[in-house]
Homo-oligomer: A and B are copies of this chain.
C-alpha cells in the first residue's frame, strides 16, 4: 500500500493514479497551478487526498510568494482560487484551502501545516476505522464502491480503512465505471493487504445482495451535507437503494473534513460533470458523465468519523461534531 503524495526538494510528487495498477509514475509539481492540474485530471483523487494535495499546493505558492513579500497574500489567494476550482464536489478541498489561508494569516508555515494535515488524516482514518470496524462481525462479506484506501486519503483509508481494521471474510469490489477506481485501485490495495476480494461489474451488486452474499456495505464520501445527505462517486446511490431494499446496513466512512455544515442538503452540492469521452465507446458518441451522485440521509445506517459514529437523526448528530 502506497501513498499518493510525497513532498521532496521543494516539489510535490503526485502518484499518477490514472496509470495504476500498470505503472507507477510520479508527476512533479512545483507550483499551485501544477497541483491544480494534477487534481483536475484526477492523477490524484479521493476527497481527503485532494485536500492534502491542495494544502501542499498552497504551501508551494506561499514559498514562491515569500520571495516577494508585498504581493504574498495576493499570490496565495490566487493559488487558493485556482486550486479550489480544480474540482467542485469534494468539500475537503475548500476545507483545506480555508484552513491554509487562516493559518497563514496567523503566521503559520504552510508546508508545516500540509504535513500536519497529512498526520491528522492518518489519525482520523485510523480512528474512524476503529469506530466502523466495531460494527462488523468476523467473516462479514462487505461490498464497497470506488476507492477509499490510502491512495484516496493519503492516510490509512476511510471505508477501506474500516475493512482493513475489521475482520472481514471477503470484499466485493464494484469496478466503478467509468474510471474503474474499484477494479484498478481498490483491487490493487486489497491485493497488497492480503484481503480476499472479488471485482464485479457495478450492475452486479443488486443480484449479489438478492442472493444473500452481502452482509454490509461501506463507502466513502466526497461531501456530507448538514442533513446527512452524501455526495459520493457515481453509483453509490443505486447501491444504497439496493442495500435498503435488502435490509443490508449501508455505512459511510469519512473524516470530519468531508462534512460541510454550510451545505444544508444534497441538492446544494455541485455535481461535477466530467468529459463524456470517459464514458463514450466511440469517438464523439453522445454520452453523459456525472462524476458523483447523492445518497439521501434516510438510506444511510451510520456515518463513521474520527469523532465517533453518527446515527439518525443526522442534523443533530452532525451539528454536534462539525467543525
Contacts and interface: CB of A to CB of B under 8 A. Distances in A.
Interface string A215-254: 0000000000000000000110110011001000000000
Contacts of A281: 21, 175, 180, 183-184, 187, 199
A294 interface: yes
B206 A241 contact: yes
Contact of A290 (B22, B184, B207): B207
A183 B234 contact: no
Contact of A203 (B21, B208, B238): B238
Residue of A176, A238, A288, A289 with most chain B CB atoms under a 10 A cut-off: A238
B175 A279 contact: yes
Label chain A's interface by main secondary structure.
mixed
B290 A199 contact: no
Contacts of A285: 183, 187, 199
Interface string A191-212: 0000011111111111110100
Interface size class of A (residues with CB under 8 A): 35 or more
Interface of A: 21-22, 174-178, 180, 183-184, 187, 196-208, 210, 234-235, 237-238, 241-242, 245, 271, 279-282, 285-290, 293-294
26 contacts: A174-B203, A177-B177, A177-B201, A183-B280, A183-B281, A183-B285, A184-B281, A187-B281, A198-B288, A199-B280, A199-B288, A200-B279, A200-B288, A201-B234, A202-B202, A203-B293, A204-B234, A204-B289, A204-B293, A207-B234, A207-B271, A208-B288, A210-B293, A238-B238, A241-B241, A241-B242
